[in-house]
């Protein structure tokens, strides 16, 4: 991870803002929207060239809940006086685990970027990109790889709930310290699986895009 480099920055965003009710892990909408750290220097933005909204929403909701629980565990370990502070910071293994979750959260959508669509979008090729999407979405090879990606991501998200969210909830309820070292290994494994699934999808989708674009050019479209 690049956490060591990022920690040296003076303007790093590594503190979580405590919700008005003082509770992170809650069904309250305000608590659920708590501002979590992204461990990135302020000012960095992430473009979203292509999204899979269904899988993305499910994965982000699970990761966000996991991070809220981690911060709620840390908050409950603080003294009553310190709980009055406006921020909560993680340290040690808890910090490393949350950085892993943050990294997955931030890099998930960019990992799905199809280079050719991305280049068309940001280089003025809006018309070609629009024309390209219709045959792309109807292409059997593309639909097969898209279905495989969705299956993989939903499976990973389900396993995350069982092996990460579950133990963290149990630790929070029983007021015990989670096994963050074990959870870090789990988070690393899931990140690799997500990256591999996205990479396979991106390669196939990119190949289909180039084939479709070639067909259009062969018929005189430019």
DSSP 49-99: SS--HHHHHHHHHHHHHHHHHHHHHHHHTS-TTGGGSSEE---HHHHHHHH
pLDDT the model gives residue 122: 44
93-103 pLDDT, tens digit each: 999 999 999 99
Show Cβ contacts of residue 112 under 8 Å, excluding neighbours closer than 6 positions. 50, 51, 52, 198, 201, 202
67-92 pLDDT, tens digit each: 999 999 998 887 766 666 668 889 99
Residue 9, pLDDT > 60, answer no
13-59 pLDDT, tens digit each: 888 887 777 788 776 666 667 788 888 776 544 444 345 677 888 88
CA–CA separation, 204 and 120 (whole Å) = 18
CA–CA separation, 68 and 110 (whole Å) = 23
99-126 pLDDT, tens digit each: 999 999 888 888 887 766 655 554 445 5
């Amino acid at each position: 991870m690049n956490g060591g480099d990022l920690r040296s920055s003076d303007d790093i965003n590594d503190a979580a803002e405590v919700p008005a009710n003082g509770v992170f892990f809650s069904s309250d909408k305000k608590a659920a929207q708590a501002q979590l750290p992204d461990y990135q220097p302020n000012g960095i933005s992430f473009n979203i060239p292509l999204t899979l909204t269904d899988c993305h929403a499910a994965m982000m909701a699970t990761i966000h809940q996991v991070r809220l629980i981690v911060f709620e565990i840390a908050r409950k370990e603080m003294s009553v006086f310190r709980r009055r502070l406006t921020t909560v910071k993680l340290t040690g293994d808890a910090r490393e685990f949350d950085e892993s979750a943050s990294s997955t959260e931030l890099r998930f959508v960019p990992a799905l970027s199809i280079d050719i669509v991305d280049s068309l979008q940001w280089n003025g090729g809006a018309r070609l990109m629009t024309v390209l999407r219709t045959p792309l979405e109807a292409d059997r090879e593309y639909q097969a790889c898209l279905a495989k990606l969705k299956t993989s991501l939903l499976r990973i998200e389900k396993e995350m709930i069982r092996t990460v969210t579950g133990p963290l909830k149990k630790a929070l309820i029983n007021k015990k310290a989670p096994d963050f070292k074990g959870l870090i290994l789990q988070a690393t494994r899931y990140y690799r699986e997500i990256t591999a699934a996205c990479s396979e999808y991106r390669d196939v989708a990119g190949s289909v895009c180039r084939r479709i674009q070639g067909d259009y050019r062969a018929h005189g479209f430019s």
